[in-house]
Chain A
Amino acid sequence: MTLRVRDVAVARSGDKGDVVNIGVIAHDDDAYRVLLEYCTAAAVRSFFGGWAPGLVERFELPRLQALNFVLHRALDGGLSHNLRTDALGKAMGLALLRMPLPGDEGGSDQGIASQQGDRTGD
């Protein structure tokens, strides 16, 4: 059976303007190594498709065995602008739990960055 993020981690998403972050917290060290290898910014961007039209960044927090994904332009303009039932993207972290590992890498590096965030947030 395909391994999914859910088998190795939990996740919580949050919003800031038009940006969604997803903290992915591994169950243990082995699980963290699996995430590091397969739960890439490229895979996450490809998985979310039209809900991740912008830059996707991945940040590593090895002491917490966690990854933080930052999805830019993921909320159709942000909470105050977006028409979705889940205008805050609260369920996007849970959606990521379904992503297979290894996932579809999407075959393109466009719009993908690791460990180099832009620094204009609150």
Chain B
Amino acid sequence: MSEPVRLGGCAAGWGDLRDAAIPMVEQGVDFLGYDFLSELSLPMLAKRRARDGDDHGHVPGVVARIEPTLDAAGAGRTCVVTNAGGLNPLAARREVARELVSRGWGAAPVGAVTGDDVLDRLGSWAGRGLLLDDPASGMSYCDIADRVVYANAYLGAAPVATCITEGARVVTAGRVTDSALFLGPLLAAFGWTELDKVATGFIVGHLLECSGQVTGGASNFWRQVDRPWVPGYPVAEVSRDGGTVITKPDGTGGLVSRGTVIEQLLYEVQDPACYISPDVTADITDVEVEQVAEHRVSITGVRGHPPPGTAKVVVGYRNGFIGTGSIMFSWPDALQKARRAEEIVRYRLTAEGVAVEELHVERIGVDALHGPTAPEPDPDEVNEVMLRFTARCPDRASARAISEQMLPLFLLGPATPAGLGAPQPVRESVSQLSILVPAELIAPSVHVAPASEAAEDKR
């Protein structure tokens, strides 16, 4: 493979843009990574699987989401790596394979990574006395064992790399780390084992996995961002020696600057000397970030240490029902009226005996986003406030009662509420525990086959 290897970060979630990959494909990249999974994704996929059957559980509409890349992948001009497998990587592979066959690419190998789904194994692990505790919440698997809907280990980059080494042109993984979508290709391309280089690849993945967030999206420097309506999503150019430049396709909007790269480098990081993944622990304390040309930023100085001997397993469990209700108040005295209305609703919920486990009230326009740090506004300056109630309740009927408190406010509240929309549907809440288990308990599997064969795979 010619150097540097070029990798594109095309999606940071399954609602992300669908056309960001087009200039990458046109200008030529070796690997395209689509991160479709967030902490909220697995609960949604679990609900779909429960509703629609065992053929489901992968990211819906995966073919349409990666469509601009499929002919290039089929022809072997690029390789697409995605975690669209979600809770069903083989179903995602089958869907992609069928599309490739219909486009005449039936001979193209396609890969899937499984082994992250450990739902069936939790019980036996607990039975063998394994500690399945979530250190952050102090809860344990045993507390919620009868309410578990999914359990997935974070797999690393190695099985992704194996798929690519075995020729896969599209890889559909399940719950691999987001960075594995990029580190996997780099391991396949360079065969790196030296930990400083592996850590560099991990950090490349960390920078690309949130798509436009490194190229001027969500940036403090938003005023300097060129044409954000046609954003250039990130491209990393990585050499065998670990040399790395972050850039974006020519002719696109966006901004790649020292500032936008540092913003994303620190994003979701805890101790910068100890950024843990299943593949390597990265130390970014001494990383240098330099603007080497317009929209080109180099990264050097990532150090690597061995990964911990543990694997993180996320366990989703049913945790009651969420009901919401909101209503607006206007000047004069909008905030004071909202507070009066809150008093009314709190009293009524208690008087009516509505079962509420947790109630959160915010005044949108005043303190919803900044909580206790929001300053008390001058009452005359507040033109309008949206009062929003969100509650976790043990049953659907109680959750529904939250939105049912809004209409009476028109009749007994201060002058005058407005903006009562249709009642928000109640949703079942799936919360998540993160537990650590010995890494050797997790066994990834790799499946690579020609698209024509994978299209008929009934597993």
- A residues with CB within 8 A of B: 10-12, 14-19, 21, 23, 25, 47-51, 57, 59, 61, 63-64, 66, 68, 70, 72-73, 76-86, 90-92, 94-96, 98-99, 117, 119-122
Contact = CB atoms under 8 A, between A and B. Distances in A.
A79 B263 contact: no
Contacts of A90: 218
B34 interface: no
8 contacts: A10-B263, A12-B264, A23-B265, A48-B373, A64-B287, A80-B429, A81-B431, A83-B391
Interface stretch (B66-74, B182-190, B268-276): B268-276
A12 B281 CA distance: 23
A94 B219 CA distance: 11
Contacts of B40: 79-80
Contacts of B430: 80
B286 to A, nearest CB: 6
A23 B434 contact: no
Looking at A12, A51, A78, A96, which has the most chain B CB atoms within 10 Å of its CB?
A12
Contact of B360 (A59, A79, A83): A83
Contact of A10 (B221, B316, B388, B392): B221
Looking at A19, A23, A122, which has the most chain B CB atoms within 10 Å of its CB?
A122
Interface string B254-290: 0000010011111111111111110000001111110
Contacts of A10: 220-221, 259, 263
A27 to B, nearest CB: 9
B271 A117 contact: yes
B58 interface: no
A31 B432 CA distance: 39
Contacts of A23: 262-263, 265-267, 269
A64 B272 CA distance: 12
Given A10-B221, A64-B289, A83 B263 contact: no
Contacts of A121: 270-271, 275-276
Interface in B30-52: 39-40, 43
B368 interface: yes
A75 to B, nearest CB: 10
Contacts of A63: 286-288, 301
B262 A95 contact: no
Interface in B358-382: 358-360, 362, 364, 368-375
Contacts of B436: 120
Nearest to A78: B432
Contacts, number: 160
Nearest to B391: A83
B154 interface: yes
Given A81-B319, A96-B373, 19 more contacts: A10-B220, A11-B220, A12-B219, A12-B263, A12-B267, A21-B268, A23-B263, A64-B287, A66-B262, A70-B270, A70-B271, A78-B431, A85-B362, A85-B368, A95-B369, A95-B370, A119-B274, A119-B276, A122-B177
B39 A80 contact: yes
Contacts of B390: 83-84
B371 A50 contact: yes
Interface string B209-243: 00000000011110000000000000000000000
A72 B375 CA distance: 23
Contacts of B43: 80
A7 B255 CA distance: 22
Interface in B366-408: 368-375, 388, 390-392
Given A21-B270, A78-B39, A49 B372 contact: yes
Contact of A14 (B220, B269, B362): B269
B371 A51 contact: yes
Contact of A12 (B136, B218, B276, B359): B218
A16 B136 CA distance: 11
Contacts of A16: 268, 270
A41 to B, nearest CB: 13
Given A19-B136, A80-B431, A122 B277 contact: yes
Contact of A79 (B39, B358, B369): B39
Contacts of B360: 76, 82-84
Contacts of A95: 369-371, 373-374
Contacts of B259: 10, 25
A59 B369 contact: no
Contacts of B287: 61, 63-64
B373 A64 contact: no
A91 B370 contact: yes
B137 interface: yes
Contacts of A61: 266, 272, 284-285, 287
Contacts of A18: 136-137
Nearest to B301: A63
A90 B266 CA distance: 14
Nearest to A49: B372
Nearest to A9: B220
Contacts of B274: 117, 119
B312 interface: yes
A51 B16 CA distance: 30
A71 to B, nearest CB: 10
B352 to A, nearest CB: 20
A98 to B, nearest CB: 7
A68 B284 CA distance: 12
